[in-house]
Every structure is written in structure tokens, then in C-alpha cells.
Amino acid sequence: MALIAHAQADALGALYDRYGRLVFSLALQIVGDHAAAEEITQDVFLRVWEKARTYRSEQGSVSTWLTSIARHRAIDVLRRQRSRPEHQGIDWALVSPEALPSINGPEVATEATLRRQQVQAALAQLPEEQRQVLALAYFRGYTHRQIAEALDQPLGTVKTRIRLAMQKLRQMLQEE
Amino acid sequence: MSKHTPFLERLPAYVLGCLEEDEAQEVSDHLAVCPACRAEWLAYQAVVGDLALAVPQTEPPAALKGRLMAHLSARPSPTTAATPSLPWWERLRRLLQGAAPLWAPVSLLLIVSLALLNLLLWQRLSRLERMALAPEMRIVALVGTEAAPEAHGIVVITGDGEYGSLIVEKLPPLSPEKQYQLWLIRDGQRTSGGVFSVTPEGYGVLEISSPRPLLEYSAFGITIEPAGGSPGPTGAKVLGGSL
């Protein structure tokens, strides 16, 4: 990030090589449209180019920073479309915990791939109803109230499910 | 029940952005004064960051990187477009430092001229604000809090929201280990807009750094922080205003 802050275009290219797919995939999952996802991805990296000096490592990893920008941008695009998107079928890619390669095993997994599978396994362990409310908050940017309306569930139930889902994820992911 | 409990329970929803605005504001205000809850907030932020990793992966078109790099070459370099973090008077002092004593009278004249120019600009901006003669610019008035009742300032934002400057007056000068920090507030969350110091007279300017267009923020606040700034507000709020 320091190199990007000093206008090293190659450094931004390297950052794109590393995180471009992640940013594009997240944008695509939120807006559901390839052309819009491309535009959001380009916008995210151009913003990083201009704002790299505002990045603060103590507030989170580069990946968290990039995906936070991408998620907010994509949700803004979704809101501007003013259409009420279908909320069935939005979810993460899930794997069973048993499918995780052992760190000491023969499988060769990069650190990033292993982390992805750990997160997918943690999500797979959440009850379906918790993952559903989490997905509406994460991919649609809905508030508690909007989720309760979309699913026709009591507001208190939605609040509890969000809290429990996040607490459980935190616990599982910190244990890794 | 600990006084932190109501906030800790709302942190998971806060980091996901699914609290209503008033609830988010309460959490944000508490985070500004509670390091323990801020540590919890960072932990949940990391969880939200991890959630992106589990999204089904799709390779972007190969041409996208080429388009990105082409856009990049058409843009001004961020280092030339950016203002160095040092305040203008410090940059001026350093520029002139090596040339003294020959430059001393000239520099004094220059400083007086700049001060007069700044005063004229300040008056002009105030007049524009009153007469609303600059529809392409947005001007936000900042009002002093009890901690700095005489202080006031403005944030000037370009029409597209991409650039903005802060001008403050009558803020108490701070000891060297402290600086003022501007906070950009959106959905109750505060993002640093940069740190600055003021002259002995309490005058200061800052080119605002923002990860998003400035018009997307709803309010601005200034607090006293350790020199170099803090990840989140920790000190007394001295100025504030809403967009």
C-alpha cells in the first residue's frame, strides 16, 4: 500500500492480481450483473489508487479494506437500481468442515485458499435461518427492520439471529 | 449487567450496517470513548472482512486489468494531487529555512501577504455561503462545542464530492504531542479525514482525505487526538457540523 501511495502503478497492478478476483466476485454476488461488477471493481481499485495513503493497517487487513469498499459500492449500485431484488438464493459458497484439508496433511493449499475454506465451513455450521438473515444484511445492505419485513419475521427474532450468527462466526474463525 | 453490554450486543449488527441510524450513532459515540468496545468492534470488522472470502469465486474478464491500468495512466498521480501531511505554514517555513538570512525579510513579507490573502479568501467564502452564490460547491459550517466555544470553521466540498478542504479559526493551539483530527461521519461510523495543527492564532487548513465521495457523509466532527491521529475518536470534540 505504501508503494501505491507513492504512485507506483506496478504496485496497484500487483494488488489487482492478488485481490481483483475477490473484489469482482463480491461485487458480482451483490449486483448480479457482470458489466456492473466490472465497473465496481475498476472503481474500487481507482479509489485505492487515489486513497492509498488513508489506509491504516491497525484498522484491518488490506483484503478487509478492499472488500469493505467493494461491498458498500455494490450495495449503493443496488439501491440506485431501485428494484427489489430477489432475496432467495443469495448465499455464500459452503463446504463441510470435514472437507477442510489438514494443515499437516498431504494436500497443498495456499494460505488464502485455506482461509476461504475455513470461512465457508464456519458459515456451513450456522443454522439456515441465521445464515439467511446474515446474507440479507451482508449482500443486500438491509437493516434489521428491512430484513424482518422481507422475511415476515418478528424484529426481535431477526436481531437475535444476526447477533448469534456473528458471535458464532467470530468464535469459530478465531479458533482457527 | 456491565455498562458495555448494550453496546457489545449491538456491535455485530453495527459492523454489518444493519442498525437504524440513531442506534448506530449511539454505538459510534460509545466507541469514541471506550477502547475496550473498540477492540471488540475491530474483531467483528475482521469477521465481516472474512465473509467476502466465502463468496463464490468468479474470474474477472482478462481485459479488465488493462482497462484499469489505462484509466490509471490517464489520472493525475496521487502524490502530485495530494497535499503533504505537513501544514502549509510548516512547509513554507521549511522551504525558506535554508535560504535565511537573505530571505528573511522576503519571507516575512510573503507570510504577511499570505495571511492577508487567506483573510480575504475566508471573507469571500463566508459571503458565498451567505448568498448561496456557489451552487456547484457545498459549504458546511462547523460550530464550536463547549470545549472550544469560540472556534468555528467550514468544510468546502467540490460539486462532485471528490475533494474538500477544511478551514478553522480560533481553535486553541495544542501541545506538540497532540493534533486535531477531522472525522467524516456516515451511518454513525467515523472515518478519519486527516489530522492538522493550528497556528498560535488558532487558524488551520486541511485538504480532506476521504475513501468515499464527501457528499456521501452526513456530518463532520473534529476531536483532539495524539499527534498523527487515532483509528477512532478518543479525545474531546471541539467542532461539529452536518451536511
Nearest beta carbon to residue A170 from set B9, B44, B80 = B44
The whole-angstrom separation of Cα B113 and Cα B119 is: 10
Closest CA to A85 of A41, A38, A29, A124: A29
Residues of A in contact with B43 (CB under 8 A): 170, 174
pLDDT in tens, chain B (243 residues): 577 788 899 999 999 999 998 899 999 888 888 888 988 999 999 999 999 999 999 999 999 999 998 888 776 655 544 444 555 555 555 555 544 555 566 666 777 777 777 777 776 666 655 554 445 678 888 988 888 888 888 888 888 888 888 888 889 888 888 899 999 998 888 889 998 888 888 888 888 988 888 988 989 999 998 888 888 899 889 999 988
The nearest CA of chain A is from the CA of B107 a distance in Å of: 30
pLDDT of residue A84: 56
Residue written as grid cell 479494506: A65
Specify the pLDDT at position A37: 95
CB contact under 8 A, B65 and A54: no
* Nearest-Cα residue of chain B relative to residue A46: B72
Q: Which residues of A touch B225 (CB under 8 A)?
A: none
Interchain contact, A49 vs B78, CB within 8 Å: yes
- From the list A50, A63, A170, the residue facing B47 with the nearest CB is A170
Chain A residues close to B44, C-beta within 8 Å: 166, 170
Of B18, B79, B212, the CB nearest to A142: B18
CB B57 to CB A22 under 8 A? yes
- The three grid cell numbers given for residue B175, joined into one nine-digit string: 501541545
Question: How confident is the model over A131-164, as pLDDT tens digits?
Answer: 999 999 999 999 999 999 999 999 999 999 999 9
This complex has an ipTM of: 0.87
Alpha carbon distance B182, B188 (integer Å): 15
Residue range A89-176, CATH number: 1.10.10.10
Report CA A79 to chain centroid distance, whole Å: 18
What per-residue confidence (pLDDT) applies to A105?
Answer: 47
Per-domain boundaries in chain A? 1-83, 89-176
Residues 84-143 of A with CB under 8 A from B: 92-94, 112, 115-116, 119-120, 123, 134, 137-138, 141-143
| Cβ–Cβ < 8 Å for B213, B157 | no
Residue B196: predicted pLDDT: 87
Q: Is A36 within 8 Å of A30 (Cβ atoms)?
A: no
Q: What pLDDT is recorded for position B133?
A: 44
Contacts 24+ apart (CB under 8 A), B16-19: B16/A134, B16/A137, B16/A138, B16/A162, B16/A166, B16/B48, B17/A137, B17/A141, B17/A143, B17/B187, B18/A137, B18/A141, B18/A142, B18/A143, B18/A144, B18/A146, B18/A147, B18/A162, B19/A143, B19/A144, B19/B188
Q: Considering CB atoms only, which of A69, A162, A174 is closest to B13? A: A162
pLDDT beneath 50: ranges in chain A: 103-108
Task: Please list every residue in chain A whose beta carbon sits closer than 8 Å to the beta carbon of residue B12.
Answer: 162-163, 165-167
CB pairs under 8 A between A and B: 181
Which structural domains are found in chain B, ordered by start? 5-46 (no CATH), 85-242 (2.60.40)
Q: Look at A63 and B80 and tell me if their CB atoms are within 8 Å.
A: no
Q: Enumerate residues 6+ apart whose C-beta is below 8 A from B194.
A: B85, B166, B181, B182, B206, B207, B208, B209, B229
- For residues A42 and A29, what is the distance between their CA atoms, to the nearest angstrom? 16
Give contacts of A115 with chain B, Cβ < 8 Å: 50, 53
A1-83 and A89-176 share one fold = no
Please indicate whether, in this complex, the C-beta atoms of B73 and A51 are within 8 angstroms of each other. Answer: no
Q: Does CATH place domain A1-83 in 3.40.50.300? A: no
Predicted confidence at residue B82, as pLDDT, reads: 44
What is the reported pLDDT for B109? Answer: 72
The answer to whether the Cβ–Cβ distance between A64 and B46 falls below 8 Å is yes
Q: Chain A window 29-58: which residues touch B at a Cβ cutoff of 8 Å?
A: 29, 34, 37-38, 41-42, 45-47, 49-54, 56, 58
Nearest residue in chain A measured CA to CA from B24: A143
Identify the bridge partners of residue B205 per DSSP, sorted by sequence position. Answer: B167
The residue of chain A with its CA nearest to that of B74 is A46
